[in-house]
Amino acid sequence: MQFDLIVIGGGINGAGIARDAALRGLRTCLVERADLCSSTTRWSSRLIHGGLRYLEFGELGLVHESLQERGRLLRNASHLVRPLQLFIPVYAHSRRGLTTIDFGLWVYDLLSIGGSLPGHRRLSRAAALEELPALNPEGLDGGILYHDAQVTFVERLVVENALAASAAGASIRTWTTVERIVLDGNQVQGVVVRDSRSARRETLTARAVINAAGPWVDRVLAGADCAMPRFMGPTKGTHIVVPRFAGMRDVACYAEAHSDGRPFFIIPWNGMVLIGTTDTRCDADPATVHAEEAEIAWLLAEARQVFPGAGLGRESVLYAYSGLRPLPRQGLRETASITRRHQIRHHGRNARGLYSVIGGKITTYRHLAEEAVDLVARRLGMGTAPCTTAELALPGGGAERGEILAALAAVPGLSEASKTHLHAVYGARAPAVARLALDDPGLAVQICSFSGAIAAEVVFAVREEFALGMADILLRRCMAGLSPDLGRSALRQALPIAAQYLGWDPARLAAEAAAFEAEIRVLESRALPEPAPAR
């Protein structure tokens, strides 16, 4: 089939571009080497924020853009994106004092005028300890309380953008690797792809190709029929997940590391606590990046400085993850100062019609997509419909929580935990999931006691949400794989469901179980002490 646009990469930027392009009438194909949201987007801090730190580097435009997009996500994906209070503790040793941070947040509030979140508050030492009693009191001067937002399941944000793209006519091709970008002279013609499961190759033709492969951008460009310079200068970010500890309230901490002044977060997340992130240069293959012991030790040590009574030790780490930020190459500058503003580069000299997305952040993905589609449509001379994504709810948005829960109450057998879970994961689509249990009450059974996920979600993920394997289902659709046990208990319950309703035979079930175990072992094994050497 002839497409107008092929988008390479199924992270938040690629899915957002595919949605915008399809909604505007472009014949669009999204190609992803693995599953949707299987890499960079997934390994983020899961925050939707204005970028308070960017003020320090004078990027007021980026902060304003981010704050506007934060507001849109709070409206258009309210089931996934929710307000989050953050607290900045200020100590005698802090590099930035209360007055400096207070002034920065006045600017932050000013740039977010018209938004729905409250402004910041400056707290005295006593008020700070009342707000967070577990906070380290030694040398504490006070702190600042402000609001941003959190996307607990960023995987779902990507999936819903892909769903919207598909509903508007886009073709979604997961587990499909782009092996070569085809040129005729210096004009892009399409891509050669290989299906990862069948090994079948085919050529997809298009008038334009957008390379939104994140840290793989340079590797994708290496498959073009021409020489390309390097554009990427990735930095590595590592996070750890620990159990919710005593004194950890529903307020995130945005702290300054005692050892070196680097900022990091301690965030209530999915019933646990997410601590991160590091920020170091890394040119490794993105597929091989993992959390290293020194990084885990640094995060634990700094978290203990903030919450000394939390009892955080190496054994506290449930799992850890790492990813590469797809930042532009910018010489020897400090990693913190490398711009987070996205670039959309047209490779017109070597490959007309080929574009690469460099940088960007989850919060501003929608605006990036709008810019990218504007650019492609203009260069192709195509008259397209105006962009509507700023006001258009995602597929799970657009319905009130009470309305959704009322619909779920009409389905017999659903526990309260499952109703809450279904709303948080699917939003307005939750009743469609639950309705599968009306025909078969067995599908209302919980498969995960931690999350409340139900059997119907296994079937729904494959039939309605592009999932092909068990890892896709548990880790990036129903989200049971982000439980403290990384979904192992859910896997045991889900496999018989797949056998009964999806027709998976014993060989397929064994292969899926092995693939799931291999994927989560990367997260878990890195979060365990290295074995002692053999004697």
Q: In this predicted structure, what is the pLDDT of residue 385?
A: 87
Burial of 25 (0-12, 13-18, 19+ CB in 10 A): middle
> What is residue 116's DSSP assignment?
S
Residue 338 pLDDT grade (very low, low, confident, very high; cuts 50, 70, 90) = low
Mean pLDDT of 96-112: 94
Given a cut of 70, is residue 334 above it in pLDDT?
no
Between 93-107, 307-321, 416-430, 517-531, the lowest mean confidence (pLDDT) is in 517-531
pLDDT at 397 over 90: yes
Helix, strand, coil % in the chain, rounded to nearest 5? 40, 25, 35
Q: In terms of Cα–Cα distance, which of 421, 399, 365 is closest to 78?
A: 399
**What tens digit of pLDDT does each residue of 165-182 get?**
999 999 999 999 999 999
Confidence of residue 164 (pLDDT cuts 50, 70, 90): very high
pLDDT score recorded for residue 361: 92
> What gap in Å lies between CA 471 and CA 467, rounded to an integer?
9
> Rounded mean pLDDT of the chain?
93
Per DSSP bridges, beta strands 28-31 and 171-173 are parallel
* Cα–Cα distance, 190 to 167 (Å, whole number): 23
- The model's confidence at residue 224, banded by pLDDT at 50, 70 and 90, is confident
Amino acid 524: pLDDT: 81
Lowest mean pLDDT, pick from 76-80, 339-343, 356-360:
339-343
How far is residue 364's CA from residue 47's CA, in Å, rounded to a whole number?
Answer: 12
Q: At what angle do helices 365-380 and 60-76 cross, to 10 degrees?
A: 100
User: Above 90 in pLDDT, residue 366?
Assistant: yes
3 state SS of 435? coil
pLDDT at 418 over 70: yes
Mean pLDDT for 207-232 is 91
Q: What is the pLDDT of residues 430-471, one digit of tens each?
A: 999 999 999 899 999 999 999 999 999 999 999 999 999 999
Return the sign of the alpha-carbon dihedral for residues 20, 467, 12, 233.
Answer: negative
What domains can be seen in the chain, in order of their start residue?
2-40+155-230+339-380 (3.50.50.60), 80-149+234-337 (3.30.9.10), 401-525 (1.10.8)
Question: pLDDT tens-digit profile of 274-333?
Answer: 999 998 988 889 999 999 999 999 999 999 999 999 999 999 999 999 999 988 876 545
**Confidence at residue 335, expressed as pLDDT on a 0 to 100 scale:** 58
Q: What is the C-alpha to C-alpha distance for residues 67 and 111, in angstroms, rounded to an integer?
A: 7
Q: Which pLDDT belongs to residue 330?
A: 64
Tokens 């900045």: give the residue: 88
What are 238's strand-pairing partners? 322
- What is the reported pLDDT for 530? 45
Q: Tell me what the mean pLDDT of segment 490-499 comes to.
A: 98
Q: What single-letter amino acid sits at 350?
A: N
Looking at residue 120, the DSSP 8-state letter turns out to be -
Closest-CA residue to 21 (of 385, 381, 373, 344): 373
- CB atoms < 10 A from the CB of 126, how many? 11
Is the backbone peptide bond immediately before 277 cis, with ω within 30 degrees of 0? yes
Task: Kindly tell me if the per-residue pLDDT of 527 is higher than 50.
Answer: no
What's the pTM value of the predicted model, to 2 decimals?
0.95
User: Which one is predicted more confidently, 529 or 204?
Assistant: 204
Q: What confidence tier does 6 reach under pLDDT thresholds 50, 70, 90?
A: very high
What single DSSP character describes residue 224? B
The pLDDT confidence band at residue 531, using thresholds 50, 70 and 90, is: very low
pLDDT at site 41: 97
> Minimal CA–CA distance to 50: which of 145, 149, 153, 152?
149
Residue 68: is its pLDDT beyond 80?
A: yes
Average pLDDT over residues 356-385: 93
Residue with tokens 């070569």: 180
Is 80 exceeded by the pLDDT of residue 219?
Answer: yes
Q: Are 123 and 129 in contact (CB under 8 A)?
A: no
